[in-house]
Amino acid sequence: MATIVALVTLIALDRYTLIAKDARILRLEIISHHFMIAAVNMRIEFLTSRITSPSLSTQKALSIDGKLIFVSDQGWPVSVVTPVSDNFQPSDDDCYQLWQVLLQNPAPISTGQFSISKDKYRAFAYLNHCRYELVSGEAFFDYFPLSGRLLFSAINR
């Protein structure tokens, strides 16, 4: 009888682990959608401000909640740290700040690809884009700030 109880417990625990993993991945996927919606809203605000105030057409920044956010030529949020140049490469701090600005009540996130933290997420610059990932490495999304493209990927889903 004890063997049967142990076997049922083991199967239930394994199933719970799989469900918990899927829930973590789904949560990051939902966060990626919220992130993109905020980026699109910021782009819309940038584009409409250029139409309604032609004198601001050369301006490449928006003020959101008292923070100056620099945008790409196409109006996508890029940085809160530095204006955008032709050879712009985001920094870890740029990626972290975009997470903080674009998400409402953002989850705690650590900065840096190899950071050791109790946070569930980490943000870092990866080539020409920002990567936001689960610390476990199970899933991530890449945001390409110059073009506004976002790609979500889950490992072994």
Name beta bridge partners: 111: 123
Domain that holds residue 65: 2-154
User: CB neighbours (10 Å) of residue 20?
Assistant: 10
Question: Are 24 and 136 in contact, with CB atoms under 8 Å apart?
Answer: yes
- In tens digits, what is the pLDDT along the chain, a chain of 157 residues? 767 755 666 665 666 566 767 888 999 999 999 999 999 999 999 988 877 776 655 568 888 778 889 999 889 999 988 788 778 899 999 999 999 999 988 999 988 887 677 889 999 999 899 999 999 889 999 999 999 999 999 986 5
Q: Please give the C-alpha separations between residue 96 and each of 8, 18, 55, 116, 147, in angstroms, as whole numbers.
A: 43, 29, 31, 15, 18
pTM of the predicted model as reported, rounded to 2 decimal places: 0.85
Number of structural domains (the chain) is 1
Structure tokens at 29: 């996927």
Single-letter amino acid code for the residue at 96: Y
* Local structure of residue 118 (DSSP, 8 states): S
Structure tokens at 64: 């959101």
- What gap in Å lies between CA 141 and CA 28, rounded to an integer? 8
